[in-house]
Amino acid sequence: MQAHLKVDEISENVLLPGDPGRIDLITKRMTNVTEKSNNRGLRVCQGDYENAALSLVSTGMGCPSAAIVVEELANLGAKNLIRIGTCGGLLKEMQPGDLVIPTAAMCLDGTTREYRPGIEKVDANEKVAAALVTAARKLGVKYFAGINRTHDAFYEPTENFVKLAGKGYVSSEMECSAVFFVSKLRGMRAGAILVVNTPEPPEEVAANPDMIYKLVDQEKVKLGMENAIKIALEAARCLE
């Protein structure tokens, strides 16, 4: 029994939504679902998808919480992890609800730097990322692939976000680097699929042509999340 994940076993393949409420969206597509634990916002459910056993575990917000979850999943015997979350889009052609499959995460968070001072970037596992790409193509869903930026401050100064223009990043969020790095450190494989959910900018930066700045269309984001969930489930089912 772990300190935070109050279970004594886990499936080898695990989906990691940040929001515990998002688990309910995933379980609608599964069978034989049972809730195993719900402690400090870290919810654990178990079920089947197309005869494949899967666990669903919420990570909470940010790298510190995500790292705790991944450490405890390693202790429980997990092998493949897929983060399902939202992100800010960093390409002007992106629309709310578009999907991103990160190939790597820039480590601009504090957690990974406590594990390894000076760390700059961590790659997603190639096999997990490839499974996500294969599933997206099979389902006919458009996606972007590239380097994600992971950071710590949701309400960061707008100029920080604007400076990312032209730096080669496709997205920005708050958990991927910890999920990728701790997984690799503990002998697991991890990838992610993210839904673009970008808010309206302040007037002084709205005209920047190199960034995506659009009103969030919640219906598009909702559809994007449904697509992300379908892709993650299909990818997880195929991982060994």
210: confidence class by pLDDT, cuts 50, 70, 90: low
Asked if residue 40 is part of any domain, the answer here is yes
Round to whole Å and give the CA distance between 26 and 236. Answer: 12
Using alpha carbons, select from 143, 132, 133 the residue that is nearest to residue 99: 143
Asked if residue 2 is part of any domain, the answer here is no
> Can you give the pTM of this predicted structure?
0.93
Asked if residue 155 is part of any domain, the answer here is yes
Beta bridge partners of 31: 48
pLDDT tens digits for range 32-44: 999 999 999 999 9
Asked if residue 153 is part of any domain, the answer here is yes
Round to whole Å and give the CA distance between 235 and 130. Answer: 9
Asked if residue 6 is part of any domain, the answer here is no
Q: Tokens representing 75?
A: 């202790």
216: confidence class by pLDDT, cuts 50, 70, 90: low
Domain assignment of residue 113, given as a range: 13-238
CATH of the domain at 127: 3.40.50.1580
Q: What is the mean pLDDT of the chain?
A: 91
Asked if residue 122 is part of any domain, the answer here is yes
- Give the CB-side neighbour count of residue 203, counting CA atoms within 13 A: 0
165: confidence class by pLDDT, cuts 50, 70, 90: confident
Residues 6+ apart with CB under 8 A from 75: 2
How many distinct structural domains can be found in the chain? Answer: 1
Asked if residue 184 is part of any domain, the answer here is yes
